[in-house]
Amino acid sequence: MDISGSNVQSAANQQTTNVKVMQMAKQQQKAEGETAMQLIASSAPKAVGNAGHIINTKA
């Protein structure tokens, strides 16, 4: 088995690239999650006054 310096260097570069890609994917996933949470929060109905708080208990 022949392991030359260029093969080792190439493997190290590939490893570095893989780590960078994984870091970028994590950042993208976090940004998309934050965007989704903002969208969900903005679509929730807003309470107006005390509407809906009066409950008839004599049924």
Torsions phi, psi of 30, nearest 5? Answer: -65, -45
> What's the confidence (pLDDT) of residue 49?
66
In degrees, rounded to 5, the angle at the alpha carbon of residue 37 between the alpha carbons of residues 32 and 39 is: 95
Half-sphere exposure for 44 (CA within 13 Å, toward CB):
8
> What's the confidence (pLDDT) of residue 29?
97
> What's the confidence (pLDDT) of residue 12?
87
Q: How far apart are CA 7 and CA 14, in angstroms?
A: 10
Q: How far apart are CA 23 and CA 29, in angstroms?
A: 10
pLDDT mean for each 10 residues of the chain (59 residues) = 70 92 97 95 76 69
